[in-house]
Amino acid sequence: MVKKNVDRMQIGKAPTGISGLDEITYGGLPAGRPTLVSGGPGSGKTLLGVSFLVNGALEHGEPGVLLTFEENAGELAQDVRSLGYDLDKLVAERKLLVDYVHVDRSEIEETGEYDLEGLFVRLDHAIKQIGARRVMLDTIETLFGGLKDTGILRAELRRLFRWLRDRQITAVVTAERGEQMFTRQGLEEYITDAVISLDHRVHEQISTRRIRVVKYRGSHHGTNEYPFLIDRDGITVLPVTSLLLEHTAPDERISSGLPALDDMLGGQGFYRGSTVLLSGTAGTGKTTLGAHFVDAACRRGEKCLYFLFEESPQQMIRNMRSAGVDVGKWVDKGLLQFHADRPNRHGLETHLLAMHHAVELFDPDVVVMDPITNLLAVGTTMDVRSMLTRVIDFLKSRSTTAMFTSLTSSDHSLERTETLISSLMDTWILVATELEGKHRNRQIYVLKSRGMPHSDDVRSFRFSPGGIEIEGPTRAPIAEPLRRTARAAKPTRVPPGSRGNGGPHSRASARRRK
Amino acid sequence: MPPSDNFELRLYVAGQTPKAVRAFANLRKICEEHLAGRYSIEVIDLVDNPALGRGDQILALPTLVRRLPTPIKKIIGDLSNTERVLVGLDLRPRRVSA
């Protein structure tokens, strides 16, 4: 019994070379066995299979045979081209063999007993020609449209999968999703080694692709649905459930880019690898503060990735230049990279995946997302919070410092969002404006900052030719939005005098007590 | 009434299986009765020539391919139903079913 378990755990794996998929399958598909990949039209089945063949041939020295039953051979060529692989070259190097199987029911008459030995002979011949270790059958269910005797077909398919197993061929068998079953013809009955399901959902005109390992005999596997992305690099799957609070907490401090703000943050700025929420109403200078932060990081020679959900990079660079912060030069030096995307272009999962992908490629020290509130256009508050949790978890695991800006409206509607998101943040900075006669007075306040003694002052700031200038503690009336947010964020009463020198919080509670 | 041109037929098999033997016997009988003097049969054994299956898109075995007269026709199975073989070879009109 024990030995059997040991054997089962030692099942060989054939890596697919698909980023993320090999992680959730703990190494790849079951080696020497068939895997069923089911999904609707356009769900990425063929691309998955072709990636598996191409990566096998290029990276693992395993030649592959692609037996395609699809009527539209052009589609396959297109899918493969989009991966950037030179299929013809692989074929010429005898690392890949493509055989188009064509079945036309209209030209076939059936009389008496037959079997599919012809298919076996063809596949066997193809495998022997190039010494294939991998096979893809795409989509074998097409046979059910070409041949009438489904009894024979079923028996022969069962024999085919056994035949593949006997030859220790690692196979990907694609199938169309059925109404009640994973496949139209119930192929999951015959392929019990591993079943992968692909899904392409469109919700409120926003599409998200998902992958799930339904079954994997003899191996652990991630059981969740994982979002995946199809782009010019092929398929990327994001395993997203590693929500472990295990990341290190560096002691290193980094500047916010503004000495006066650093001063408010215990004199030394943010912790490296921490998360900063910068919230305020429209036009309060959130993006400019972000630009200062990025500018300071680039001056230290660090790399910054700036996600824009509202403006184009060009627009942001121009606006910041006019505000006195030139971030354009860092783009030229390769230290700053922008990643601009309309929130409603994808679902949250896809955004998350794109962010992961961008962070992994650029490997930044600092990340800014501006403004995260725009993501609420494509998901509920809880969805956004869950997505940000994953982003933050990922960034913290890399000790990447992250700043998120949040646009608050002047009424109360976003405060719930703020409060929900703020618990993920190590530092929360509020900016606000207050009309003072004919002058708008800008104010900044550190509402919280974990692990450091921070200032409870509300300070005024103004835009100067060199960017933002923060003044000493203000005597001006506290801006109403700032007072309100502070109140909403800290509902618990604090005994008077326990919180330093009379920040807005203690004023607010003092007022409540009266 | 039947077309006067020559019938060029190919029978694909894989080894001397009972089905293959049966199909060949059935084919000979049908040809002698209906195409005497104007047919030729070429038997292709895919065990010996696996590469040949690709050209005629052979999957099922046995498969009878009518190369001539055109268009190409395929009949799969052991050819035990003479009526259907004749329909498949266009020697009998296809019965139109609703």
Coil, helix or strand for B68? strand
Yes or no, beta carbons of A114 and B51 under 8 Å apart: no
- Closest Cα to residue A167, out of A135, A189, A194? A135
Render pLDDT for A234-287 as a digit per residue (tens, 0 to 9): 888 876 555 455 667 788 999 999 999 999 999 999 999 999 999 988 888 999
Q: Are A331 and A338 in contact (CB under 8 A)?
A: yes
Q: What angle do CA A361, A407, A276 make, to 5 degrees?
A: 50
Say whether A118 and B71 touch across the interface (CB within 8 A).
no
pLDDT at A5: 43
A119 neighbourhood in chain B, CB within 8 Å: 59-60
Please check whether the domain covering B7-88 is classified as CATH 3.90.550.10: no
pLDDT reading at A499 higher than 60: no
- Between these two residues, A6 and A487, which has the higher pLDDT value? A487
Whether residue A45 contacts residue A195, with contact meaning beta carbons closer than 8 Å, is answered with no
Q: Do B53 and A108 touch (CB under 8 A)?
A: no
Q: Which runs of E-coded beta strand occur in A155-205?
A: 170-176, 194-203
Distance (Å, whole) CA A294 – CA A278 = 14
Tally the residues of chain B. Answer: 98
Compute the distance between CA of residue A456 and CA of residue A20 in angstroms, rounded to an integer.
45
Of all residues in chain A, the percent with pLDDT exceeding 90 is 43
Could you tell me which residues are beta bridge partners of residue A175?
Answer: A38
CATH topology match: A2-237 vs A253-513: yes
Burial B43-54 (b: 16+ CB within 10 A, else e): ebbbeeebebbb
How high is the pLDDT of residue A440?
Answer: 83
Q: Pick from B19, B23, B84: which is nearest to A109 by CB?
A: B84
Using a CB–CB cutoff of 8 Å, tell me whether B79 touches chain A.
Answer: yes
* CATH value of A253-513 in 2.60.40.1180, 1.10.287.1260, 3.40.50.300, 3.30.420.40: 3.40.50.300
A492, pLDDT greater than 50: no
Give domain limits for chain A.
Answer: 2-237, 253-513
> For the residues A115-140, what does the mean pLDDT come to?
94
pLDDT bracket for residue A10 (50, 70, 90): low
| pLDDT of amino acid A514 | 41
- Residue A376 CA to residue A420 CA, distance in Å, equals 13
Select the residue from A71, A103, A121 to test the B interface by mutation, using most B Cβ atoms within 10 A: A121
Residue A290 has pLDDT above 90, yes or no: yes
Q: Say how many CA atoms lie within 13 Å of A459 toward its Cβ.
A: 23
Contact A125 B53 (CB under 8 A): yes
Lowest average pLDDT, out of A30-44, A48-62, A120-134, A485-499, goes to A485-499
Q: Is A114 within 8 Å of B61 when comparing Cβ atoms?
A: yes
What are A470's strand-pairing partners?
A461
pLDDT at A235: 85
B-chain residues near A114 (CB < 8 A)? 19, 60-63, 76-78
User: Within 13 Å of residue A164, how many CA atoms lie on the same side as its CB?
Assistant: 29
Region A12-41: mean pLDDT is: 91
- Confidence band of A308 (pLDDT split at 50, 70, 90): very high
Percent with pLDDT over 70 in chain A:
84
Which segments in chain B show pLDDT lower than 50? Answer: 1-2, 98
Strands A439-449 and A427-436: antiparallel
* pLDDT at position A413: 47
Burial (CB < 10 A; 0-12, 13-18, 19+), residue A180, is exposed
User: What was the ipTM of the complex prediction?
Assistant: 0.90
A117 to chain B: which residues are within 8 Å by CB? 14, 46, 60-61
Strands A270-271 and B73-76: what pairing?
unpaired
User: Between these two residues, A187 and A264, which has the higher pLDDT value?
Assistant: A264
Contact B59, A99 (CB under 8 A): no
B residues 1-20 closer than 8 Å to A (CB): 12, 14, 19
* The CATH number of domain A2-237 is 3.40.50.300: yes
Residues of B in contact with A109 (CB under 8 A): 73-76, 84-85, 87-88
Which of A56-60, A69-73, A103-107, A460-464 comes out lowest in average pLDDT?
A69-73
Q: In whole angstroms, what is the distance from residue A459 CA to residue A443 CA?
A: 5
How far apart (Å, rounded) are the C-alpha atoms in residues A353 and A346?
10
DSSP designation for A340? E
pLDDT recorded at residue A344: 80
Amino acid type, A514: K
* Average pLDDT estimate for A209-224: 86
pLDDT at A192: 77
Say what the pLDDT of residue A288 is: 95
Q: Which residue has the higher pLDDT, A23 or A409?
A: A23
User: What confidence tens digit (pLDDT) does each residue in A317-345 have?
Assistant: 999 999 999 999 999 999 999 999 888 87
Angle at CA of residue A193, ends A187 and A195, nearest 5°:
60
Residue among B22, B51, B77 whose CB faces A110 most closely = B77
How many CB atoms are located within 10 Å of the residue B2 CB?
13
Q: Which residue's entry shows tokens 């065990």?
A: B47
What is the Cα–Cα distance from A396 to A272, expressed in whole angstroms? 9
Tens of pLDDT along A142-177?
888 888 888 999 999 999 999 999 999 999 999 988
